[in-house]
Structure 1
C-alpha cells in the first residue's frame, strides 16, 4: 500500500496570530503606562480647583513658603496616585508576559488538543480511534478512577504529526503497509509504544511449521518464516555469510549458529572479562535463577544458553540490518521489540537476572544510562543479579564518570573486572568492564 506522500504539514497560522495579538497588547499597555507617568507636566494649578500650576509667579503669592508647601503636597498626592496606577499596569503587563511564556506548554496540554492529551492537531480517522479515549461500561470505573480508558501511546508521538498519520494511513481490515523500518524509526524518536492498528501484516509465502524445541535453539530457520521486504539480505544464507564480507552491520556474525562464535559464547570463564553462564549461576543457590532479561540480546544466543539450563530469558532486540526478533522467535525463545530508552515492562522486584552485552556502553548519554541502571535495579528481586558484560568506554571516563555512577546505584559487587583494550598487542586508551552485581537482600 502506497503512502500519501503529498500530504503537507498542518497549517499552524493561528499560533502566529496569537503571538501578534499578544505583542500588540503589550505595546498598548506599555504606552498607556508611559503616558500616565509623564502626564504631570500638563496639570494646571488654581485655587479651589485642586489643580496647581507649577510655574506660579512669585509676585502673585502673598506667602511664597506656604504656597510652595501646599503645591508640593498636592504634587506628591498626584504622583502617588499616578505611581499606583502605573504599578497596577506594570503588574498586569508582567502577568501577560508570564502567560506568554507559559503559552506553549498550555497549548500542548489544553488549547491544541484533539480530544485529550498532548495532541497539537485535530485527530482524524484511524489515529483518532486508536488514541481514544474510550467510554467504559458502568461498573468498570472503580479501579481506574475514571469512566474513560486511554490506550497506551508514546507521549513523544505528538511531535511527529505527519509521520504518525502516515503510519496510521491504511485500509482498516486490510493488509498493513510494508513499513517495519519506518515504524522502528518512530520508536527510536521516542514514539513508543506506537498506536495499535486495525490491519494485518503480510503473511510469508510458503510458511512451514517451525523446528521443534531443543533442536530449534541451534537451527537456522527456513527462509519462508518471514517477509524480507525491509532488509538488504533476502534469505538467511545471506545473513550467515555476511560475516565474511565487507561492510558495517549490527551484530555481524550473530546469525551463524553452526560455525561462528555464537556456538561458544558464555561457555568458558577466563577469570577476567569473559564470564561463563555456569560460573554466574553458581553464585546463587541452585534453581533460584529462574527468569530473566537480556537487553540488546542480538539473535538470542544468551537466552538459548539459559534455556538449556532451565532458565527462561526474554530478549530485547531491535531489527537493525536484519530480522532479529523473528530469528529469536524461530529458536523457540521470547523476543521483545524494545529500544534502550523504554522503561522496562516488568513490575518491581520480579526478575532473577538481567544481562546486557555491549549495548550498555559509553554511546548512551550519561543521564539516560543512569535512568537505565536504576530501572534494572527496580525490576530485579532482592538478591537478583545484574550481569554487565563487556561495557566499553574511554579510559578517561572509567573512574571519573562510570565507576561513581555504578557505585551510587546501590548494587553489591560479586565480580568486577576492568581491562584496557588491546589492538594488535598495543594498549589503547579504551577500556572494557565486566561486572556481576547483586541487588541487596535488605
Structure 2
C-alpha cells in the first residue's frame, strides 16, 4: 500500500472511530448516572436509618435538634444528587442529538439568529404559574410544522415582514407555498389582515348556498382574477386551472351528487340511505374545492367541514360566503379531529396516485382514526393506473381495515385505452368492533 492509499484508508476509518468514541462516551455516562443514583440513595437511606431508627441503649437520650440538622443535611444532599442526575441526563440527550450519527436540523437551529418577533412566535414561553402536571412541563411551544426546520429563511421572512399591531402584508401565496413545503401550521403573527374595501354583508341563508358572493366580500390582491365574473369565465379559458369551473354555480356544480348512475357517480341520497336516518350528522370533505359537497349535505341536515387550498382562487372565502365552514389545511396535516368522532369523510380527486404511497397510507389511517365506529369514508373518483389498483391500493385499503359497502372501478377513457388510467369510487366503512 502506498502513502496515498494509507491516507485514504485513515480518512475512511475516521468516521468509524468517531462513532465508536461517541458510543463509548454515551455508555460511560449511562453507567456513571446509575452509579451516582445508587450511591446517593443507598448512602442517604443507610445514614438516616442508622441515625434515626437505631434503638437507644442505656446511654443518654439522643439530641433531637442535632438529628434534625443531620436530616436536613441529608435532604439537601439528595436534592443536589437529583440535580446532578438531571444534569447528566440532559448532557446525555444533548450528546445523543449532537452526535455525528444524527443528521438534520434541530429545534435550536430553527430559532438561532431569528428576529425577536420570530422567536416570540415560536417559543418556548415559560408558564406564569410554573410546572403544569397536565403538560408535563413548565414551558409551552407554539405549534409549528416540521418543514419549517428546512425553510428557516422563508420562516424568518414570514414572521418579520410586518410592524407589530399594524397591517399584515398580503403574502397569501408565499404563506401557502410555505405550508405546502411542510411548514404547517404556520406560526401566529401580531398583525391585522387587510380588510376588503366597501365590505358587503353576506347573502342570508339558505340563499347563500347557491348565490355568487359580492366581489367586495374579500381581498383580491393575491389572485390573477380580481372579481367573481373573471373566475366564472375561467371555465371557458384555455390552460389548466385548479377546479376550473368550481365558481360557476349554475353549471356542473348545480348537479353534483344529485344522481346515482350505479357506476362511478354515487348519489348523496343513496349514500345516506345506507345508514339509519339522522345518524349521519357531521363530517369532513377533504379538498372540497368551492364547497358544493358541503352545500348539498347541508340541505340534507348534515354539517360538513371543507378543507381547501387557495390555488389562484379565493376558495376558502367562497366557501365561507356560502354559509359553510372552510378549513385552510393541506393533506399533509393531521386531521384536527378527535378519535372516533366523525360520521362521514368524503374526498373527490384529491386523494390519488400523485401522493407517495407511504404518505397516502398514513392519511388513510388518519381518516380511519377520525371516523366513529360504523362511520363512512366516501372515496370519490380516486385516480390511478390499472397496474397500481390491485397491486398497491387494494392491499393498502385492506391493511387499514375498511369494510366495503360499495366499490366500483372504471377505466378513464378521455386519453385513450392504452394509457390504462382508472377511477375508483368506493364507500368504505369503519368496523363497529
TM range (shorter): 0.7 to 0.9
RMSD, aligned CA:
2.4
- Counterpart secondary structure, 1:423: coil
Matched, 1:94 2:86: no
Aligned residue in 1 for 2:302: 311
CA distance in 2, matches of 1:382, 1:138: 40
The answer to whether the 8 A contact 2:285-2:304 is kept is yes
The answer to whether the 8 A contact 1:155-1:191 is kept is yes
Matched, 1:271 2:262: yes
Aligned residue in 2 for 1:198: 190
In structure 2, the CA distance between the partners of 1:431 and 1:135, relative to structure 1 (3 Å rule), is: same
Give the paired residue count.
351
Aligned residue in 2 for 1:242: 234
Structure 1 residues 318-333: aligned runs within 5 Å: 318-333=309-324
Give the superposition deviation at 1:120: 6.2
Structure 2: 5+ residue stretches without partners: 1-6, 25-94
- Counterpart secondary structure, 1:168: helix
TM-score by length of 1: 0.75
CA distance in 2, matches of 1:206, 1:250: 29
* Aligned with 1:280 (options 271, 274, 289): 271
Matched, 1:371 2:362: yes
Matched, 1:129 2:126: no
In structure 2, the CA distance between the partners of 1:221 and 1:107, relative to structure 1 (3 Å rule), is: closer
* Aligned with 1:359 (options 340, 350, 356): 350
The answer to whether the 8 A contact 2:19-2:101 is kept is no
Spell out, residue by residue over 1:386-405, the C-alpha distance to the aligned partner (whole angstroms, 9 max, x if none): 00000011111111111111
Aligned residue in 2 for 1:80: none
CA distance in 2, matches of 1:249, 1:198: 33
Aligned residue in 2 for 1:438: 429
The answer to whether the 8 A contact 2:19-2:100 is kept is no
Give the superposition deviation at 1:428: 4.4
CA distance in 1, matches of 2:20, 2:114: 35
Aligned residue in 2 for 1:225: 217
Structure 1 residues 103-182: aligned runs within 5 Å: 103=100, 105=102, 108-109=105-106, 113=108, 119=110, 121-138=112-129, 141-169=132-160, 170-182=162-174
Aligned residue in 1 for 2:175: 183
CA distance in 2, matches of 1:125, 1:226: 32
- Counterpart secondary structure, 2:99: helix
The answer to whether the 8 A contact 1:420-1:427 is kept is no
Give the superposition deviation at 1:96: 5.4
CA distance in 1, matches of 2:264, 2:217: 36
In structure 2, the CA distance between the partners of 1:422 and 1:108, relative to structure 1 (3 Å rule), is: closer
Larger relative helix fraction:
2
CA distance in 2, matches of 1:107, 1:310: 48
In structure 2, the CA distance between the partners of 1:107 and 1:356, relative to structure 1 (3 Å rule), is: closer
CA distance in 1, matches of 2:256, 2:166: 43
Give the superposition deviation at 1:200: 0.4
TM-score by length of 2: 0.77
Give the superposition deviation at 1:154: 1.0
Give the superposition deviation at 1:121: 2.5
Give the superposition deviation at 1:102: 3.1
CA distance in 1, matches of 2:114, 2:214: 42
Structure 1: 5+ residue stretches without partners: 1-22, 31-89
